[in-house]
A and B are shown apart, each in its own frame.
Chain A
Amino acid sequence: MKRVIEKTVRWILTGSGFVTSVVILLIIGFLFTEGAGLFGEPVIEEGYVLAVNGENPVKEMSAEEIKAVFDEDITNWKELGGPDLAIETFRLEDADEYFTEEELGPQYGNAGAAIAALVASRPGMVAFVPELMIPEESGLNFIEDRNISPGEVLGGREWFPTATPSPLFGILPLLAGTLWVSLFAILFALPFGISIAVYMSEVASGKVRGFLKPVIELLNGIPSVVYGFFGLVVIVPMLQQVFGLPVGESGLAGSIVLAIMALPTIVTVAEDAMRNCPRTLREASLALGATKWQTIYKVVIPSSMSGIASGVVLGIGRAVGETMAVLMVTGNAAVIPSSILEPLRTIPATIAAELGEAPAGGAHYQSLFLLGVILFFITFAINLCVEYISSRNRAKNN
Chain B
Amino acid sequence: MLVCSLLFCGAADAQRVKGSDTLLPLTQELAEQYLDTHPAEEVIVTGGGSGVGIAALPENTTDIAMASRKIKFGEKMKFAGLGLDAVEVVVAYDALAVVVNPSNPVDSLTREQLEAIFRGKITNWKDVGGEDRKIVVYSRETSSGTYEFFKESVLDNKNYMSSILSMPATGAIIQSVRQTAGAIGYIGLAYLNKYVKPLAVSYDGGVHYALPSVSTAADGSYPIVRPLYYYYDSRKEAEVSPFISYVLSPEGQASVLEQGFIPVKVEENAPASLNDR
Contact = CB atoms under 8 A, between A and B. Distances in A.
A160 B77 contact: no
A178 to B, nearest CB: 16
A92 B74 contact: yes
A130 B275 contact: no
A343 B165 contact: yes
A236 interface: yes
Given A93-B157, A328-B172, A353 B143 contact: yes
- The interface centre, meaning the residue of B144, B163, B167, B181 with most chain A CB atoms within 10 A of its CB, is B163
A130 B77 contact: yes
Contacts of B175: 232-233
Given A248-B180, A357-B49, 16 more contacts: A92-B72, A92-B74, A93-B157, A108-B76, A111-B77, A133-B77, A160-B162, A162-B142, A164-B157, A246-B180, A246-B181, A246-B182, A332-B141, A333-B165, A353-B143, A357-B142
A331 interface: yes
A237 B80 contact: no
25 contacts: A70-B158, A71-B158, A91-B157, A92-B72, A92-B74, A93-B72, A93-B157, A101-B277, A108-B80, A158-B162, A233-B175, A236-B176, A236-B179, A246-B133, A246-B182, A247-B165, A247-B183, A327-B168, A328-B168, A332-B168, A334-B163, A343-B163, A353-B143, A353-B168, A354-B142
Interface in A45-103: 67, 70-72, 91-93, 95, 101
Contacts of B73: 92-93, 95
Interface string B47-79: 001010000000000000000000011101100
B262 interface: no
Nearest to B142: A162
B119 interface: yes
Residue picked from A72, A101, A162, A335, most chain B C-beta under 10 Å: A162
B172 A232 contact: yes
A172 to B, nearest CB: 11
Contacts of A237: 179
A177 B199 CA distance: 33
Contact of A249 (B159, B176, B181): B176
B180 A240 contact: yes
B136 interface: yes
A236 to B, nearest CB: 7
Nearest to A345: B166
Contacts of A354: 141-143
A333 B165 CA distance: 5
A245 to B, nearest CB: 9
Most chain B CB atoms below 10 A, which of A93, A158, A332, A335: A332
A353 B157 contact: no
B38 interface: no
**Range for the number of chain A residues in contact with chain B:** 35 or more
B119 A333 contact: no
A328 to B, nearest CB: 6
Q: Is the interface of A mostly helix, strand, loop or mixed?
A: mixed
B134 interface: yes
A159 interface: yes
Interface in A226-263: 232-233, 236-237, 240, 246-249
Contacts of B157: 70, 91, 93, 164
A331 B172 CA distance: 10
A71 B182 contact: no
Nearest to B121: A73
Contacts of A159: 162
Interface string B24-36: 0000000000000
A353 to B, nearest CB: 4
Nearest to B133: A246
A334 B161 CA distance: 9
A331 B175 CA distance: 12
Contact of B143 (A91, A246, A328, A357): A357
A357 B175 CA distance: 24
A111 B181 CA distance: 49
Contacts of B144: 357
B166 A353 contact: yes
B155 to A, nearest CB: 9
Interface in A284-311: none
